[in-house]
Structure 1
Amino acid sequence: MEKLRSVISKDAALDTVESKRLDAGEYDAAVLSVVKSQEFDPVTSHLEKDILEDEYTAITVEDDSPYAEVRASVPSTDDFDLPQNTIRMWVIGMLLTMIGCGMNTLFSLHSPSFSITMYVTSILAWPLGRFWAWCVPNVSIFGMPLNPGPFNLKEHALISIMANVNFAGGTAYATDILLSQNKFYLQDYGWGFDILLILSTQCIGFGLAGITKKVLVESPSMIWPQNLVATTFLTNMHVNENHPANGWRISRLLFFLFVFIGSFVWYWFPGYLFQALSYFSWITWIAPKNVIVNQIFGAQTGLGLFPLTFDWMQVAGYIGSPLIPPAGTIGSILLSMVIIFWVVVPGLYYSNTWYAKYLPISSSGSFDRFQETYNVHKIIKPGTLTFDKKAYEAYSPLFLSTTFAISYGLSFASILATLVHTALFHGKDIIAQLQQREKRDVHNRLMARYKEVPEWWYAIVFVIFFAMAIATIEGWETEFPVWALVVALLIAIVFLLPVGVIFALTNMAVGLNVVTEFIIGYMLPGKGLAMMLFKTFGYITNSQAIYFVQDMKLGHYMKLAPRLLFTVQMSATIWGSIVQIAVLRWSYGAIENLCQPDQASHFTCPNGKVFFNASIIWGVIGPQRQFSSGQLYYGLLFFFLIGALLPVVNWLILKKWPNSPIRWLNWPVFFSGTGYIPPATPYNYGAYCMVGLIFGWWIKKKYFHWWVKYNYSLSAGLDIGLAWSSLIIFCCLSLTNTDAPVWWGNTVFADTVEGQNIAWIHTLLPGESFGPAKW
């Protein structure tokens, strides 16, 4: 215990237990709690555990989680008698799932697109549930009471999970395949193919989720930061306990409501009335025609060197709330952004690497040698999806902006960094949890009262939807062999635990979209539909499994019956998938000129178009013409080696010097944390990191009680206010083609060269081109 006392002060221990009076035993427990929650970074916790192993096994906190973030958000009690499996829960949940899936599918066809989040559904469910409890008579149907009493926390959590498994990440990935196939390739296999495809791609990951439960759900160290916001929001609605925190006496519910209203009202200014508050790159306004100034300080296609914004959408829109991840995670992202995007990218760009000066410094588009958007139709044979080599050689190689090219390199590095980092830094913890040697916390003990889901349930789900996937690819002409499907699923399985561990600890998802595109491009070159299917079964199977596990952990925190949760997740996913296909098919006939560039109401299918272009670039052109030896972007392949080696360097340094500052550097987060650049810019990430460090480090350290009580309520209020305000602006203005007011505050940022998308150094004259002599 003396080692523990030497690590932390008594004042910090008192802070951790919120100034309760402590006897000697309680103080020892508090000391351990502080070491576990503050001195121990989850990314490198195995090292501190090794140092303090004897003390850790001898002293435990029996009445709560050992992590301050969890204690601040999750009740450590359970009302076992609260009704969960109610008709009210099923009706409201399925109704909101249907509405949310339908609206998200419709919104995804529009430019700009919009996505309804789980929180929009959750906040709607609360008045609906209370209204049901107030007016519906309490009669029984099939032995179940129609109105079992007040609308409760567990019903609300189950409804929220129904929404999360369906549209947490927007619409189903399969809808983009179908849009690309139906509207851009002009190939339609009908309803049967559509339903089999969406069900197999959405549900097969559920069968894999069960095998990770012991590690990613039952392990106390897997805290899942995003779930802490959800639990805070839900408990604010139903369990509104109040106590002073650094002089603040307002309840968490009232605080949340004030933040929600303020966020809702404020977003009308940067989102509609005064949009310069959103893109507040004021330095570019001084020199609107200076290309270099716009590239360095620009917020839209620049490097955002002065990341000041008054718009929560710019801070959290791409990456999520910066109030959620641990400070160490935010620090790794900030270091990545500074080194890669404020040092390496300008060096590459201004040295004209990859002919960069002829292109924007940051853009998610692809370009030809004439500085125009790459026209994929010029490199395929008319009426087919077959690559035309002669047409390609006559037209142009494909060029990417510097940030876009670097983003591929970072993706390559993140894949191997994730595998190596997980093996070195979390291998012992994973094995310990699989062998059930990790200490159980209060939430495990409370959940022991409920019947667990047998693992064979998950196995049956996997077999059913695997068979459905085979029927999908074999029943129609997809040019996608079964062996390739097996390879895609093996990729998803291999990366399941590594990606899950990183996400559970840091709230950063390592996506497999690029590596799956890369692999299939070499495996089956020239096959666009096969590429889309491989990418979906490899990437989305893994991603869906992580979403399912995330919701299992939310159910674990909310003390939901596991077997009921299994049924809810499965039923809602199937129902939501069918709804999405129905709305997609309805739009084909109801929306005139759907997916055409000049569609009158801007239903131009931006997501489907990106998916289609990716299938041509990776499936038809293929990575061998981009990354193989002698090709323009060959050097990016060395990022695979960099990603594999750097975690080993960290591990060796920390074995020798366990307290080295390098323990805060997480290489998977370093490489994948900036994965939304582009279309996001360092401007977004700079603002994100500044806010994250202010709250996750400075306020947490200086005003710990305030942080414990209000941090996640603040995050939920800002996110939900933004979501509702964005939704109303989108529905009332965008869908009706109503333009924002035309005045200086809405045009100043658009009148710059970056706002006009012409912020490049070398501008070609008509008939000129750039690039290599041969390709």
Structure 2
Amino acid sequence: MSDEKHVAGSVRSGKVPEEDPVAPIPHFPSEEKGDIKDELGALEVDAGSLEEEELEESIRLVPKIVRELVSMDDDPTLPTVTFRYFVLSTLFVSLGAVISQISWFRTTSASYSMFFVQIVSYWLGNLMARTLPSTDVNLGFIKFNLNPAPFSIKEHVLITLAASAGATSNLGEIIVSVKDIFYHEQMHPLAAICLMWATIWTGYSFAAIGRNFLLYDPDLIWPSALMQTALYRTLRGEGQSLDVSKKQIRVFWTILIAVFFWSFLPEYAFPFTSSLAVLCWFAPRNDTVKFISSGFGGMGFLNFTLNWSNITSNIMVSPWWTQVIGFVAFVSSVWILVPIAHFTGVWNGTRFPLMSNRLFMANGTRYPFQKLTTPEGHFDEVAFHELGNVYMSTYNLWGIFFGYATFLSAFVQIFLFGRKKIWSTIQHLRQKKQHSFKDRLNVLMSEYEEVPLWWYILLFVCCFTTMIVLIFTQDLYLPWWTYVVGVVLGGLTVVPMGFIYAVSAYQVSTGTWNELIYGYMAPGTHPVGSLVYRVVAGQCWYRAQSILQDQKIGHYMKISPRATFLSQLWGNLIGVPINYAVIRWVIDTKRSYLDGSEVDPLGQWSGQAPQSYLNQGIQYGLVGPTRLFQDVIYGPLRWGFLLGVGAPVVMYLLHKRFPRAKFHLWHSTIFFSSMENFYGNVSTGPLSSIIGGFFCMHYFFRYRHSTWVKYNYLIGAAADTGLSLAILAIFICFGSAKIIQMPEWWGNDKESVEKCYGSGTA
């Protein structure tokens, strides 16, 4: 499985310029004109020493799409870190840390929606402001007021930023979980928590490298940050009537409650609805039909789902063109390449279980990978020669192939389509210093104290020291010097990859490359060592990216950078210990599903994430690429490098030759990255998703745009939240202290919930 990646939705307007850095995402240059005088008329500011022309010019430097969605005013007297902030941030971080960590072990799930946090924290914050007494509290070491002022938008933003930082699964979960599930090595709780803090805060310290490059330039709009910023204004009722706001609230709660109760059916009581394998209804005992139609371990052809966890609000966030590329990649991979491999046996397609992410021996049996390590955690050469090379399904092979293509394609794509913009940005940064941008937002933010560099340096030193101590005391199995190399390479990745994300909201996977580098540096080491390196060199820059995105939200909302930074640390302080508690909870109750000794009938507790990480750790860290690639089955993977370089060149040439044909929209990096996705456990969602995406992001966006603006993100947030709460309720009520199985009935057929039996059943 590739590293975490996603394509977030962007706010689209205008025409795509020819030299856009990541061509399909519109870029809004600062020269774009608008009716600045009208905006000035609606702007309530104290211009101070600024002349009207200077103020007008500072606003004009802000891209038009940002001017439409972000206030050009600021009130520095608004309260930020208050008693209400600590209460609500703790509540939402704790809830999200539980939901997100449970979701990490599941095959499909809805992420903990920040839209939900934004909406509900707004209502709860106002409720606390109306009901709490305005009383001073003196605890000796600190004094505060329970209710100092009306609930401010800055408090509201900081609560959400704390949740965004801490209410997610963290990086160290990969190491802690794989050690426990597959090697029965349970880390000491304090060591595990410190490992999680050290890895996640290494990503924070990486953010110091990129903030001057990526935060202040007004042309780097960070579409996902802009989207969340727009929702704050919606909640505050800016630009709409009170009746519309009340209707939005009713719609939100109606959808949330409906999805919450509905989710009990596909997730527990009526799992038949989670995968409607239409073809199996006509030939339920045909092996070929089962393979083609089943959404659990099959192709999922003409398979629909009524389970929101197989769809999620991605259909309401990702742009339509992105969803089309993703669906075309799914069709190419699962509906074209899979049957070719299955029915022809090409690339050893029939030698191993095709729709599996397990590792195999040459005879097709599961590989006893535990035998490849000595008690000291080293590679056992004798055992390897006895067992033979490590093999995987053909499906996983082309996932690695397209993983190689993805990484190179990203760099070639950005060079071909965005080199002029990149060069102009570099020239600007070479000539000017922080806050030298003279747009309105940077002028307002220059009044606040910036986070000093030594804060980031101190944080990095603490994390680096902690990791070195853990490497020598906690059996992390990697040479200490490879950790240093991983830190250096991870830091170097932040700016170029962050630039891609800042203009496109697309996150490029780097996991396969990092595994390959580690495999050549330290072959024959324990798989866990490879994963530690991967977390530092790859996952930490993802965390830096998310932190920078949240800091961009703080920039748009005129939050003190220091308050934003400390709020992010506060979220992790709360969230990481809860993450660890949930990891222990899930492993202790679902271990047989996670390690593969039993099969979850719904395919949800497959342990797909830890299993995929383990597979790559074994292949690249333990066996090593030198031994691995000696086998001819791995030979074609090298062509992925050439494809990654050649595909964007072809698209660029076609775009230059036929500029109206929109070849630039067929973004090779997104296509290759989508081809990496593993659908072997659940393939029932894409068809339903593309249908839903057509209505949400094409029909309503284009033809019912006013309705789309009012309800699209709201409904997506409500549906994801209802599902997340339902999964949590099911887990607590039926799968924690006492496991309560749903009785077998027609809609819960233990032999096959889809009614895809195959010919081997009675």
Asked if these proteins are the same fold (TM beyond 0.5), I'd say yes
Change (3 A) 1:510 1:338: same
Q: Which amino acid aligns with 1:621?
A: V
Counterpart AA for 2:555: H
1:267 paired residue among 263, 267, 278:
263
Instruction: Report the counterpart of residue 289 of structure 2 in structure 1.
Output: 293
Q: TM-score, length-normalised on structure 1?
A: 0.80
Number of the residue aligned with 2:50: none
In the TM superposition, what are the counterparts of 1:23-422 in structure 2 within 5 Å? 37-40=13-16, 44=20, 57=31, 59-60=33-34, 62=36, 63=39, 78-98=74-94, 100-101=96-97, 116=112, 118=114, 125-126=121-122, 128-141=124-137, 142-168=142-168, 170=169, 172-181=170-179, 184-187=182-185, 190=188, 193-227=191-225, 230-231=228-229, 234-239=232-237, 242=240, 251-316=247-312, 321-381=314-374, 383-422=375-414
Checking the alignment, whether the CA contact within 8 Å between 2:285 and 2:758 is kept in structure 1 is no
Query: For residue 719 of structure 1, what is the amino acid of its counterpart?
Result: D
Quick one: distance in 1 between partners of 2:228 and 2:26?
33
AA partner of residue 329 (structure 2): S
Aligned partner of 1:15 in structure 2 is none
Structure 2 regions of 5+ residues with no counterpart?
A: 1-9, 40-58
- Provide the C-alpha distance between the structure 2 equivalents of 1:191 and 1:702, rounded to a whole number of angstroms: 54
Listed one character per residue, the Cα deviations across residues 127-181 of structure 1 (whole Å, up to 9, x for unaligned) are: 653453344322334453221233333223212221221243x2x2313313433
Match of 1:563 in 2: 562
The aligned runs of 1:525-564 (5 Å cut-off) are 525-528=523-526, 529-564=528-563
Could you tell me which amino acid in structure 1 is paired with residue 544 of structure 2?
A
Deviation per residue, 1:602-645 (Å, 9 max, x gap): 9998765654454334322233343x244322211211221122
User: Is residue 424 from structure 1 mapped to residue 398 from structure 2 by the alignment?
Assistant: no
Q: In structure 2, what is the equivalent of residue 699 of structure 1?
A: 700
Q: How far is 1:51 from its partner?
A: 13
| One-letter amino acid matched to 1:94 | T
Letter aligned with residue 549 of structure 1: L
In the other structure, the counterpart of 1:717 is 718
Quick one: which amino acid aligns to residue 353 of structure 1? V
Aligned to 1:25: none
Query: 1:333–1:689: 8 Å Cα contact kept in structure 2?
Result: no
How far is the alpha carbon of 1:661 from its aligned partner? 1.7
Cα distance between partner residues in 2 of 1:429 and 1:125: 39
* 2:606 and 2:681 in contact (8 A); partners too: no
- For the residues of structure 2 that align with 1:295 and 1:394, how far apart are their CA atoms? 34
C-alpha separation in 1, matches of 2:309 and 2:120:
21
User: Deviation of residue 307 (structure 1)?
Assistant: 4.6
How far apart in 2 are the matches of 1:289 and 1:41?
54
Aligned partners of 2:242 and 2:303: how far apart in 1? 34
By how many angstroms is 1:662 displaced?
A: 0.5
Q: In structure 1, what is the Cα distance between the partners aligned to 2:536 and 2:755?
A: 41
Matched with 1:669 is 670
Please tell me whether the aligned partners of residues 201 and 463 of structure 2 are also in contact (alpha carbons under 8 angstroms). Answer: yes
Residues 1:303 and 1:217: Cα distance change in structure 2 (over 3 Å)? farther
Contact 1:303 1:341 in 2 (8 A): yes
CA distance in 2, matches of 1:190, 1:343: 47
Q: Distance in 2 between matches of 1:594 and 1:249?
A: 45
Q: Taking structure 1 as reference, are residues 526 and 504 closer, same or farther at Cα in structure 2, changes over 3 Å only?
A: same
Structure 1 spans left out of the alignment, 5+ residues: 1-33, 760-775
What's the RMSD between the two structures over aligned residues? Answer: 4.3
SS at match of 1:493: helix
Note the alpha carbon deviations across 1:687-722, whole angstroms, 9 max, x for none: 333322332223222222222222222222222222
Summarize the Cα distance change of 1:616–1:52 in structure 2 as closer, same or farther, 3 Å threshold. Answer: closer
Instruction: Determine the C-alpha separation between the residues in 2 that align with 1:218 and 1:116.
Output: 28
Please, which of 620, 627, 636 is the counterpart of residue 618 of structure 1? 620
- Once the two structures are overlaid, the 10-residue window that deviates more, 410-419 or 180-189, is 180-189
Query: How many residues of Structure 1 are paired with residues of Structure 2 in the alignment?
Result: 714
Decide whether aligned partners of structure 1 residues 669 and 67 sit closer, same or farther in structure 2, where only a CA change above 3 A counts: farther
Q: Whole-Å Cα distance in 1 between the matches of residues 108 and 690 of structure 2? A: 26
| Aligned-partner Cα distance in 2 for 1:506–1:758 | 49
Deviation at 1:124, TM superposition (A): 5.7
Deviation at 1:106, TM superposition (A): 7.1
1:556-587 superposed Cα distances (whole Å, 9 cap, x missing partner): 33332221001111232244334545676899
**Maintained 8 Å contact 2:16/2:26:** no
Shift of 1:279: 0.7
**CA gap 1:58/1:473 in 2 versus in 1, 3 angstroms:** closer
Instruction: Select the residue among 480, 483, 493 that pairs with 2:478.
Output: 480
Counterpart contact for 2:276–2:305, Cα < 8 Å = yes
1:284, CA displacement in angstroms? 2.2
Instruction: Report the Cα distance in structure 1 between the residues aligned to 2:65 and 2:259, rounded to whole angstroms.
Output: 24
- The one-character-per-residue Cα deviations of 1:37-71 (angstroms, maximum 9, x if unpaired) are 13227993688999999xx7373464489889767
Change (3 A) 1:507 1:322: farther
Contact 1:512 1:539 in 2 (8 A): yes
Contact 2:413–2:669 (CA under 8 A) maintained in structure 1: yes
TM-score, structure 2 length as denominator? Answer: 0.81
Counterpart code for 2:422: I
Structure 2 partner of 1:28: none
> 2 CA distance for matches of 1:530 and 1:404?
22
The percent identity for this pair of structures is 25
Greater shift in the superposed pair: 76-85 or 578-587: 578-587
CA drift of 1:411 comes to 1.2
Higher mean C-alpha deviation, range 540-549 or range 576-585 = 576-585
What is the aligned partner in structure 1 of residue 5 from structure 2? none
CA contact (8 A) 1:256 1:714 kept: yes
* AA partner of residue 548 (structure 1): I
Deviation at 1:113, TM superposition (A): 8.9
Question: Which residue identity does 2:654 align to in structure 1?
Answer: I
- Cα–Cα, structure 1 residues 596 and 338, in superposed 2: closer, same or farther, change >3 Å? closer
Give the residue type in structure 1 aligned to 2:281. W
Residues 334 and 689 in structure 1, CA contact (< 8 A), matched pair in contact too: yes
Question: What SS is found at the alignment partner of 2:486?
Answer: helix
Local SS of the residue matching 2:357: coil
Per-residue CA deviation, residues 333-378 of structure 1 (Å, 9 max, x unaligned), is 2332333433334333332123222444323333334544332234
3-state DSSP of counterpart to 2:652: helix
Letter of the 1:469 counterpart? M
| Residue 633 (str. 1) matches residue 634 (str. 2) | yes
Q: 1:723 to 1:78 in 2, by over 3 A?
A: farther
Q: What SS class does the counterpart of residue 144 from structure 1 fall into?
A: strand
Secondary structure of 1:418's aligned partner? helix
Match of 1:768 in 2: none
1:257/1:76 CA distance change after superposition, 3 Å: farther
Specify the SS of the correspondent of 1:267.
Answer: helix
CA distance in 1, matches of 2:309, 2:11: 35
Task: Note the C-alpha offset of 1:417.
Answer: 1.1
Aligned mates of 1:500, 1:398 — CA distance in 2: 35
Matching residue's letter, 1:350 = F
1:708 matched residue in structure 2: 709
